[in-house]
Amino acid sequence: MATSAVDGVVVITGAAGGIGRQTAFSFAEAGAAAIVFADIDEEKAQQTAEESRQFAVNPEYRILALSVNVTDAASVQRMIDAATKEFGRIDYSINSAGVGEEAYVPISECSIEDFETVMNVNVKGVLICVRAMSKAMAAQEPRTTKSRNGTRDIGRGSIVNVASANSYVGLPGKTAYVTSKHAVTGITKSAGTLPSFSVDSELLDDRIVVAIDNAAHGVRVNSVCPSWVRTPMLEEEIRLNPSVPDTIKATCPFGRIAEPEEVADVIVFLCSPGASYVTGTGLIIDAGLTLTLHVG
């Protein structure tokens, strides 16, 4: 089998906490050469970056903490420019920044303002990051790795979007969040594959062509779709709705909440040479929850 090492440069948005934070630690353990910790809170990003050193196994491991607003294309581009200036290239891009809704409300009472806030971060933010990263990675030299049968092409880069099990199933009272996570899988599929129809390049600007043409450039795009994960977002939800743990225990086949490290390890796999033929997919991480909800 090909080596599972992920020894390149990683950029993680939402790196200061939750899944993003643990993903950084997992990459450090897996041999990453450098990690860019990008977050709206630069101070927390720096703290997490320093903490990651204890997990690093690469003797040349380096870190960079940056402030980024994923809803601002200029801010995202500055993040990419800083990463490439510091480390030369970006091999793995993890889009983990996201927000949720504070309360369960029926769609008849769904706040348009809250809906727009969630969509702005969870959808527009992912689109901006994927679009910019696609262009940056397409300009890089492809990489290879040793495998049992010689050399395996691992392409120019890998992008992983953090979606949700709610990308596939609904959740009463969470219209904005569910809608946003369905959209993330749509972005993933569009960015990760070639169009099955003829596209007139004159009808599309360069940025959009890059987004739908990643397969031809050797840039893989996938998403992870976890259910309940022990993150600050879930902790806040439990504070507002104390019955949530009982609901999880009753509906999840494993009867427990996922640890963010369990999601992080799957993200690292999707970036590794072991997943070199995987693109445009959403990998469900839910202990079989969606199966019990009769999802095909």
d(CA 236, CA 175): 18
d(CA 96, CA 64): 17
Which entry of 177, 189, 249, 277 is annotated as an active-site residue? 177
Give yes or no: 174 in active site. no
d(CA 287, CA 94): 22
d(CA 131, CA 288): 32
Q: Which residues pair with 146 in a beta bridge?
A: 151
Burial of residue 200 (number of CB atoms within 10 Å: 0-12, 13-18, 19+): exposed
Tokens of 225: 């779709």
Q: Where does residue 40 fall: left (phi above 0), alpha (psi -120 to 50 degrees), or beta otherwise?
A: alpha
d(CA 168, CA 292): 13
Tokens of 217: 């450039």
d(CA 144, CA 218): 11
Which entry of 104, 174, 181, 249 is annotated as an active-site residue? 181
Q: Give the SS3 label for residue 191.
A: helix
Q: Give the SS3 label for residue 220.
A: strand
Compute the 3-state secondary structure of the chain and give helix, strand, coil in percent, each to the nearest 5. 50, 20, 35
Give yes or no: 177 in active site. yes
Tokens of 285: 């991480």
Cβ neighbours of residue 96 under 8 Å, at least 6 residues apart? 12, 13, 14, 15, 18, 19, 20, 23, 162
Catalytic residues: 177, 181
